[in-house]
Structure 1
Amino acid sequence: MATKKYRPGMNCEKTGKYTCYDKNGNEMYGDIDVEKDRRFPPSQEEGCYYEEQ
């Protein structure tokens, strides 16, 4: 099963650690703690996304 991708500003469905990737799938930064029902932080890069670790 594929890992769900979250965009900056989306609501988090599950508390955990997330990694941010650029539009090409390269890791930009990791170990981002996001709590359930909070929004994912904004990013400087267009097209980036977050995945749960």
Structure 2
Amino acid sequence: MARTKKYRPGMNCEKTGKYTCYDANGKEMYKDVDVEKGRRFPPSQEEGCYYEEQ
């Protein structure tokens, strides 16, 4: 199975789509976050969180 790339808040988005935000432990925090290519991923209130494409 291919590994899904993880994006940190503030990183540039490489592909327009829907993303899910996870905390540092891998627990889902937010779902269906729309991010457009070239835009930055939104900030998060928790340290160590990341986004993955759905």
TM-score bracket, normalised by the shorter chain, equals over 0.9
Which residue of structure 1 aligns with residue 10 of structure 2? 9
Q: Deviations over 1:10-49 (max 9, x none)?
A: 0000000000000000000100000000000000000000
Runs of at least 5 residues in structure 2 that lack an aligned partner in the other structure: none
RMSD between superposed Cα atoms in Å: 0.2
Which residue of structure 1 aligns with residue 46 of structure 2? 45
Instruction: State the identity as a percent.
Output: 90
Residue correspondences, number: 51
Cα distance in structure 1, aligned partners of 2:16 and 2:30: 18
Runs of at least 5 residues in structure 1 that lack an aligned partner in the other structure: none
Cα distance in structure 1, aligned partners of 2:27 and 2:39: 24
Instruction: Spell out structure 1 runs of 4+ moving beyond 4 A.
Output: none
